[in-house]
Structure 1
Amino acid sequence: MALLWAGTAAASTPEYADLSLEQLSEVTVSSVSRRAERLDAVPAAVFVIQAEDIRRSGATSLPGAMRLAPQLIVARADANQYAISARGFNNVLANKLLVLIDGRPVYSPLFSGVFWEAQDILLEDIERIEVVTGPSTAMWGTNAVNGLIHVITKSAVATQGVSAEAHAGSTERGAALRFGGEAGDDAHYRVSVRAHDRSNTEQADGTALRDGADGVQATFRGDWSRGDDALQFQAALYESTIDQAPVAREVSGGHLRGQWARGHDDGRATLVQVYAEQTERRQAGGFGESRNTADLVAQHEFEPASGQHSVVGLGYRHSRGRVDNTPSIAFEPALQDAAWSRVFAQNQSVLLPGLELTLAGNVERNPYTGTEFLPSLRIAWQTGYQHLAWASLSRAVRAPSRIDRDLYQPDQAPGGLAGGPDFQSEVANVGELGLRGQPHPRLSYAATLFHHEHKGLRSATATPVGLQWQNHLEGYTRGLEMSGSWRVADSWKLAAGGVWLRTRLHASPGTVDAGGRRSLGNDPDSVWSLRSAWDITAWLRWDVNIRHVDALPDPAVPAYTAVDSRLAWQYAPDLEVSVTVLNAFDPSHAEWGASPGRAEFQRSAALQLRWRL
């Protein structure tokens, strides 16, 4: 049966850097073309975070695990909130990076981004995280302008038995319990529960910020397969309380997801997925949002001719949201029903031995600007020396959200900031050049040059009724992404990478921007990281992660270098004890926000226990 984009692998994929040339050709990723492809043949900038990488990092949250992808810009804003993006425009309300969990988009139509504090997934359940930088709108739709993050969880088959995890440290405590079982020869299931308790962060003067949080999540997954058919079912419930003045912020919700897949040996495969989600947010000051979302996607892959492979599909998403307006922030109308629909297609053709052309396109209709056309062209040249050179041209769009059109501030009218009734989509025309290879069984590398030409970016424009969001900023972002790994010895691996970014934005001719540029994001010129994984003995492992982030310009945040270290002892085959130290050589540093009220992240330590039966 063909492997499909939602991920149905029954066991953990081995680490990329550990593979021989023969094994490398068997590794698959599924987030570029919505179908399984060999990693060494994918004409896109892709980085895979494996389950073992997450475990050895000592990460305790999904955003923390994202730091393992050197192409991502990850900044922690407080105890719960993160700013995560690729290729610029980073913000806690970042809106150009699509995030999926098992094919389920988790962005909010309120601002086209992700509430990271609500994605409290159990890290032990993750099979891998596929990070694709560069436009992915041709196959995944609007908002995947700068890339996508796809979190793929393990099947129930791979999580049988009992496992437990607990960690406690100076800034966070948490625990999780999971049980997996069988329901006949063809069906497996797992249930898990996870709880966390995070302490307040502090300002530079030692004053505690009210951002501590506690929460719990319960999940269920079932997998059934027989012959060419496979079924998945997932359910989750969560709630979290986050301290905030004058009252706590409350986040809760749940979802149901079902998927049917049928694959055949001749390359044909069909997938249908449906999910429903309900979320609740209650902010300080009385603002809140309740949202119900339903989503359906169906796709079929086939081989129309020799040397060709095609994927066609359609999707429909409906969301009903109600906001509780306040005098300082409001949306009109308070109740909104909105729908998005799309059809997409892709064809991959072998032009010559080793030379492949990929044409893809997405026609998507949104409730604000109508129909958008999102095309992509990719060409790849696979040499006989385990090297892949590729190039791409894409048109990507970030469609308007509620904050762009429907926002207003009643207590500041007529001078407050409001959504623009004529706000249009932000457009990026993107060119990429990439090279990937494994010249030696112990050495691999990847590099991508990119140039994004932006038009119609969000600006704050003075009008007779006050400031409005309009589309008067334009310019470019360009840069270089690199990553590589080296298996120095059988017991020692090094991995390094980074991104170098240049952004130049200006108001379009004849217009003036009154502050919209600052709302687009705050990006460093470069981010780089170095990781070392050393198996000192068969039962003692030492991991060191070093990351450097250049200074942020506005608001100014100083550059910093953080060193995280984890020492793990395999006390017994089923019991691991580890100690993780974060910011080992740095008393404290800020990552986001304006001084003096921003959070400073101090040196911290945590003890973690993992037990499997």
Structure 2
Amino acid sequence: NAVNGVINIITKSAKDTDGVLGSVGGGSEERGFGSLRYGEKVENGAWRVYSKYFNRGDSRDPDGSSAYDATEAVRGGFRGDFDFSEDDKVTIIGDIFSTNEKNEYAVPSTMPPYTTPVKYPADINGGSILGRLERKLSDTSALTLQTYFSSMRRTDALGHMAVDTYDVEAQHDLTVYEHHSVSWGLGYRGIDDEFSAPSDLFSGSPENQSYGVGSLFLQDDISLAEDVRLVLGTKYSYNDFSKSELQPSGRLIWSFSERGSVWAAVSRAVRTPTRSEHNFSGLLTVTPIPMVGVSENQLGPNRGFESEELIAYEAGLRFSPISKMSIDLASFYFDYDKLVTARSGAPIFATDEGGPSITVPLVLDNGLQGHSYGGEISVNYQATPRWRMQANYSLLLMDIEGVPGFTVSNGEDYEDRDNPQHQVSFRSLLELPWDLELDALWRYQDSIENTGTDAYTELDLRLGWNISDQLTVALMGTNLLDADHNEIIDTYPTVVPANYQRAVYGKLTFKFN
């Protein structure tokens, strides 16, 4: 179920990547980066190996000083695609990675100024492997079996985290009575994790836990007429935190001409609770109170926290008014229930060596409801065989309030402005004479009231030169209109905000078959 958005990482088959492809570059912010890939075809398939590296420098704090957030990472992996028969295909994908990143947190403190900047590096390492078998059972039926395992380890000053994930799934696709394309499947994902925190800032109980989610789905793509399709489906899942979940959906598509179609959809989606929401606690903020001392806001877990729920209503239109132009329009209305918020408990008064204090316990709960609505438009225009343009606009409006009988932590209902309401972008891809390319991306983002993030306008440019079929050089500049700007400030009070800076870098790309 992808109502709330999903990231699909689709990589090319190894059969399409034989030969050598590499790149190397660097600049003011992206200090150094490079990649190298080699692929080869064999009798019954193909394989490839690759490696990537990048070193990104520190960004800038709002006061103009250097932030503490540089990152250096290396990743390597392989992929193999093999046809063992006309009906059997096997894919194997694996990778390993190692990352060193710098972090800065404003750790709450009971002493003035009530936060202590803490800078520390983090080491993150891991890897994954995936195997997939695709078998053609008949001209109208196919079976896919897939298994996956990943492992991640993170160590920093706040603690050590280890997460192992294993996943198995099966999917059966078949055509029934010509007008029904049916897909059904089942799967299970299990997670084993460990979290140990040497500081009092965060803690989890238990430190080690195993949990999982099993799922079963069914979808029927029905041809109601030559130009009308109805897609009905549902997904049932069972997890260790919120137990049973059902997520049905329906979508109707009418292709009214060769150049256009209109669609509408209704879906239900949930966000299931995480382990941290059920098991983790920590000191959120410390606030001075005159004549009393300090108030410590202590965030605690809630094992009764339920899934956040969404009913989504969507509609859209895609058409080509002329052969060189396509327009996509989409609108939505999302109805939310049981959204997460912090519920305040009874204050606890205490006196210790540091003086009097008040502890305000905060517990995560399903205390908010509301709706969001908006839309987006995207226009693609091929002005000439050498010049392509794209313009985009999106609108997001949201209204959130406490559920009846529930008092939110700030004591009042509010209109959510944690996201920009308006976003605009324009992209131009132009092929110039002498094998040159000039690409531009202009973008605007509205202000974000709740976090105090100002609106901004930025421009990215790329000038490329295709020296030959095997060699390309490019000069790129990002965020060129301002020396630095802030795009988002995390609402979690311990996260230190940082600004994106103007950057210039070069890149050399080479390939050989």
Q: What is the TM-score when the length of structure 1 is the normalising length?
A: 0.73
Q: Contact conserved, 1:576 with 1:610, CA < 8 A, in 2?
A: yes
1:422 aligns with 2:304: yes
Q: Which amino acid aligns with 2:194?
A: R
Offset at residue 189 of structure 1 (A): 0.8
Deviations along 1:222-264, one digit per CA (max 9) or x if unpaired, are 1102412211101101011112343211111100101111236
More deviation, 508-517/370-379: 508-517
Q: 1:230 aligns with which of 78, 89, 93?
A: 89
1:169 maps to which residue?
27
1:192 aligns with 2:50: yes
Offset at residue 571 of structure 1 (A): 1.0
Offset at residue 403 of structure 1 (A): 2.1
Offset at residue 425 of structure 1 (A): 0.4
Q: Which amino acid aligns with 2:158?
A: G
Q: State how far apart, in whole Å, the 2-side matches of 1:203 and 1:532 are.
A: 32
Q: Contact conserved, 1:211 with 1:242, CA < 8 A, in 2?
A: yes
Q: State how far apart, in whole Å, the 1-side matches of 2:13 and 2:284 are.
A: 51
Provide closer, same or farther for how the CA distance between residues 411 and 509 of structure 1 changes in structure 2, counting only shifts above 3 A. closer
1:290 maps to which residue?
162
More deviation, 360-369/408-417: 408-417
Q: State how far apart, in whole Å, the 2-side matches of 1:162 and 1:521 are.
A: 48
Deviations along 1:538-559, one digit per CA (max 9) or x if unpaired, are 6111000011110011211001
1:420-499 aligned at under 5 Å gives the runs 420-464=302-346, 466-499=361-394
Q: 2:502 aligns with which of 589, 603, 606?
A: 603
Tell me, what secondary structure is at the counterpart of 1:391? Answer: strand
Structure 2: state its 5+ residue gaps.
Answer: 104-117, 286-294, 347-359
Q: 2:16 aligns with which of 135, 158, 169?
A: 158
Q: Contact conserved, 1:330 with 1:410, CA < 8 A, in 2?
A: no
- Return the structure number with greater helix share: 1
1:307 aligns with 2:179: yes
Q: What is the TM-score when the length of structure 2 is the normalising length?
A: 0.87
More deviation, 261-270/238-247: 261-270
Q: Contact conserved, 2:61 with 2:499, CA < 8 A, in 1?
A: yes
Q: State how far apart, in whole Å, the 2-side matches of 1:411 and 1:457 are.
A: 20
2:445 maps to which residue?
549
1:523 maps to which residue?
419
Q: Contact conserved, 2:378 with 2:392, CA < 8 A, in 1?
A: yes
Q: Contact conserved, 1:564 with 1:581, CA < 8 A, in 2?
A: yes
Q: 1:208 aligns with which of 48, 57, 66?
A: 66
Q: State how far apart, in whole Å, the 1-side matches of 2:439 and 2:17 are.
A: 25
1:240 maps to which residue?
99
Provide closer, same or farther for how the CA distance between residues 424 and 539 of structure 1 changes in structure 2, counting only shifts above 3 A. same
Provide closer, same or farther for how the CA distance between residues 390 and 603 of structure 1 changes in structure 2, counting only shifts above 3 A. same
Q: 2:4 aligns with which of 141, 146, 167?
A: 146
Tell me, what secondary structure is at the counterpart of 1:152? Answer: coil
Q: State how far apart, in whole Å, the 1-side matches of 2:480 and 2:458 are.
A: 7
Q: Contact conserved, 2:3 with 2:267, CA < 8 A, in 1?
A: no
Flag the structure with more relative contact order, 1 or 2, with Cα contacts below 8 A and sequence separation at least 6. 1
Q: State how far apart, in whole Å, the 2-side matches of 1:389 and 1:563 are.
A: 33
Offset at residue 501 of structure 1 (A): 0.5
Q: Contact conserved, 1:203 with 1:598, CA < 8 A, in 2?
A: yes
Q: State how far apart, in whole Å, the 1-side matches of 2:163 and 2:486 are.
A: 33
Offset at residue 186 of structure 1 (A): 1.2
Q: Contact conserved, 1:460 with 1:515, CA < 8 A, in 2?
A: no
1:593 aligns with 2:475: no
Offset at residue 145 of structure 1 (A): 4.2
Tell me, what secondary structure is at the counterpart of 1:151? Answer: coil
Q: Contact conserved, 2:48 with 2:79, CA < 8 A, in 1?
A: yes
Q: Contact conserved, 1:190 with 1:220, CA < 8 A, in 2?
A: yes
Q: Which amino acid aligns with 1:549?
A: Q
Q: State how far apart, in whole Å, the 1-side matches of 2:483 and 2:65 are.
A: 16
Tell me, what secondary structure is at the counterpart of 1:409? Answer: strand
Offset at residue 358 of structure 1 (A): 1.1
Q: State how far apart, in whole Å, the 1-side matches of 2:403 and 2:232 are.
A: 32
More deviation, 380-389/312-321: 380-389
1:275 aligns with 2:148: yes
Q: State how far apart, in whole Å, the 2-side matches of 1:218 and 1:504 are.
A: 44
- Runs of 4+ in structure 1 deviating by more than 6 angstroms, as ranges, are 410-414
Q: Contact conserved, 1:331 with 1:402, CA < 8 A, in 2?
A: no
Tell me, what secondary structure is at the counterpart of 1:420? Answer: coil
Q: State how far apart, in whole Å, the 2-side matches of 1:511 and 1:426 are.
A: 16
Q: State how far apart, in whole Å, the 1-side matches of 2:262 and 2:137 are.
A: 30
Number of positions where the alignment pairs a residue of Structure 1 with one of Structure 2: 468
Deviations along 1:544-587, one digit per CA (max 9) or x if unpaired, are 00111100112110011111000000112100000001122222
Q: Contact conserved, 1:359 with 1:378, CA < 8 A, in 2?
A: yes
Tell me, what secondary structure is at the counterpart of 1:375? Answer: strand
Q: State how far apart, in whole Å, the 1-side matches of 2:136 and 2:473 are.
A: 42
1:332 aligns with 2:228: no
Tell me, what secondary structure is at the counterpart of 2:321? Answer: strand
Q: 2:238 aligns with which of 360, 365, 370?
A: 365
Structure 1: state its 5+ residue gaps.
Answer: 1-136, 138-143
1:181 maps to which residue?
40
1:573 maps to which residue?
469
Provide closer, same or farther for how the CA distance between residues 415 and 492 of structure 1 changes in structure 2, counting only shifts above 3 A. closer
Q: State how far apart, in whole Å, the 1-side matches of 2:191 and 2:496 are.
A: 36
Q: Which amino acid aligns with 2:509?
A: R
Tell me, what secondary structure is at the counterpart of 2:15? Answer: helix
Q: Which is greater in Rg?
A: 2
Offset at residue 521 of structure 1 (A): 8.1
Offset at residue 599 of structure 1 (A): 1.6
1:562 aligns with 2:453: no
Q: State how far apart, in whole Å, the 2-side matches of 1:197 and 1:490 are.
A: 37
Q: State how far apart, in whole Å, the 2-side matches of 1:584 and 1:416 are.
A: 42
Offset at residue 265 of structure 1 (A): 7.1
Provide closer, same or farther for how the CA distance between residues 411 and 439 of structure 1 changes in structure 2, counting only shifts above 3 A. closer
Offset at residue 400 of structure 1 (A): 0.4
1:220 aligns with 2:78: yes
Q: State how far apart, in whole Å, the 2-side matches of 1:446 and 1:288 are.
A: 46
Tell me, what secondary structure is at the counterpart of 2:407? Answer: coil
Provide closer, same or farther for how the CA distance between residues 522 and 411 of structure 1 changes in structure 2, counting only shifts above 3 A. closer
Q: State how far apart, in whole Å, the 2-side matches of 1:515 and 1:240 are.
A: 38
Root mean square deviation, CA, Å: 2.1
